[in-house]
Structure 1
């Protein structure tokens, strides 16, 4: 009965959710809780680390373009648009913040596409450096040896103008820095360009159409166990990848982030032109 109900709903039948759907974000309904990743600050916004200061708010977009009007989303007129600034190496991040009530399997599914700003009459297939996602997780306040755990995955599309096309992860972050003068706030920019490692067997060629305004939607699924705090499975389109060599960023638990269950999506440009990550919809589900 459950399978029949899911398949009867066009918005949900495109996903393979676990038994409990925690959130289903179709951006025709609005931002659905996805907002700008604002860095920590105290007393003055200028105390924010530079990596975070470059971020801007995600937008709702019809995927407008100059040669034929608008694409719209995959299932409606709108998608979430995460756009970088027009500066080589610039990044932008959208985040959705939850807490969890059960330490079990969590599944993140999305349909996405990416493009550079179509400012020239050529393909520009190496203008987007990377797109990706991350979780920001922390154990409960009564857990022994509690950690903050941050799995990161990115698709490195290009680097310094050369097509790369492979998935990478990172398990090291930058040094924590105190923010302000009260010893209450720390910050680290975990999306710094250093320390990315290749996912074993992670080379993949994604669909990137023949002119700079065309898009094709791509499916992504990532499974993670909140009990063991380990990645279980990763799929992009028809490829399922071996996650045995994958590691997450780990650090001691922080004093006010208990049961944190955050999800983030990001884009990065390889040229002085904006990179766009468009997200049609997101389904987050669990085994509880």
Structure 2
């Protein structure tokens, strides 16, 4: 008599089409596919007190992200990877302008996390030429803070990564990070609100070995989607890995912007994406989907 043979269950990523394009850790924190709407992503509004005019100029330029079918003038809509809509982050049409979309969470365990996303970038197609150097940069950042039990000596930690596509009209195509602290500016009169603009163009450093040529199709309305993966350990507050498409990068020289812990941001787990234009036309960063997972 033949014994019973129990077939092992396949991983969830084999059977769930929404997960099959990702390599998540053991627990899914959020899986955002923008065919379902905004999924909690919103405009990065700067801090203010008493008056909106107290907001720092870097934040005042930001606008809300949009749901987009990637419409363009020559063929209708490009659409997303497997549906209709992506999240569109669009700058103002002014050289050096930036825009940021953010998702605000907190964490329940200080352990490993992994962010994965499918993204693409283009300038607004206002000219009949490729315009491959019109986007200055796109990237992502986390805004993290330890739990309240750390007390004195805890940190607010902000890993930043950007792809510097072009500068002053010249292609660069290099991944960079930022670790130098920026000035903290108090707002108002009640000693409750401060602000700092951490996406200023100064103090970006080249990621060692971070040169990469990304796919950028032959006319100004075509796009190709790119895979990004970033690993971070919330216990040690260190980056443990970074990948874009087929390239795994050495992150031994990577560090984050670090500030003293702030009195009302305990267990913060914020994730943001940003775009920046190098010309007087809008730069677009599109997010098809974002998966944030953890191992706890």
TM-score by length of 2: 0.96
Greater C-alpha radius of gyration: 2
**Number of residue equivalences:** 288
Please name the residue that 1:174 is paired with. Answer: 182
Q: Structure 2: how far apart are the matches of 1:10 and 1:154?
A: 29
Q: Give the whole-Å Cα distance in 2 for the aligned partners of 1:108 and 1:218.
A: 14
Matched with 1:15 is 22
Verify the 8 A CA contact 1:54 1:91 in the aligned structure 2.
yes
Structure 1 gaps of 5+ residues are: none
Match of 2:40 among 33, 41, 53: 33
Over 3 Å counting, the alpha-carbon distance change for 1:265 and 1:2 in structure 2 is farther
Q: Is the Cα–Cα contact under 8 Å of residues 173 and 188 in structure 1 kept in the other structure?
A: no
Deviations 1:149-199 (A, max 9, x none): 000000000000000000000001321111111111100000000000000
Matched, 1:120 2:122: no
Conserved? CA contact 1:173–1:189, under 8 Å: no
Displacement after TM superposition at 1:3 (Å): 4.5
How far does the alpha carbon of each residue in 1:103-142 deviate from its partner, in whole angstroms, 9 at most, with x for none?
1000000000000000000000000000000000000001
> Which residue of 210, 231, 240 corresponds with 1:223?
231
**Does 2:237 correspond to 1:237?**
no
Q: Give the Cα separation in 2 of the matches to 1:17 and 1:232.
A: 15
Tell me if the contact between 2:107 and 2:269 (Cα under 8 Å) persists in the aligned partners. Answer: yes
For residues 182-226 of structure 1, give each alpha carbon's deviation from its aligned partner in whole angstroms, at most 9, with x where no partner exists: 111100000000000000000000000000000000000000000
CA distance in 2, matches of 1:132, 1:152: 8
- Residue 263 of structure 1 and its aligned partner are, at CA, apart by 0.2
Alpha-carbon spacing, 1:2–1:213, altered in 2? closer, same or farther (3 Å):
farther
Q: Is the 2:89–2:274 Cα contact (8 Å) retained in structure 1?
A: yes
RMSD of aligned alpha carbons: 0.8
Is 1:108 equivalent to 2:136 in the alignment?
Answer: no
Match in the other structure for 1:134: 141
Aligned residue for 2:150, secondary structure, equals: coil
Give me the whole-angstrom Cα distance separating, in 2, the residues matched to 1:173 and 1:192: 11
Gap runs ≥5 in structure 2: 1-7
Change (3 A) 1:2 1:160: farther
Q: What does residue 61 of structure 2 align with?
A: 54
Distance 2:156 2:226 in 1: 30
Provide the C-alpha distance between the structure 2 equivalents of 1:5 and 1:25, rounded to a whole number of angstroms. Answer: 17
In the TM superposition, residue 2 of structure 1 has moved relative to its aligned partner by 6.4
Q: Is the 8 A contact 2:181 2:259 kept in 1?
A: no
1:253-264 correspondence to structure 2 within 5 Å: 253-264=261-272
SS in structure 1 opposite 2:231?
strand
- Does residue 81 (structure 1) correspond to residue 88 (structure 2)? The answer is yes
The CA distance in 2 between the partners of 1:39 and 1:3, in whole Å, is 45
Deviations 1:52-109, CA, capped at 9 Å, x for gaps: 0000000000000000000111121000000000000000000000000101000000
Q: Segments of 4+ in structure 1 off by > 4 A?
A: none
Instruction: Report the TM-score, using the length of structure 1 for normalisation.
Output: 0.99
The aligned residue for residue 164 of structure 1 is 172
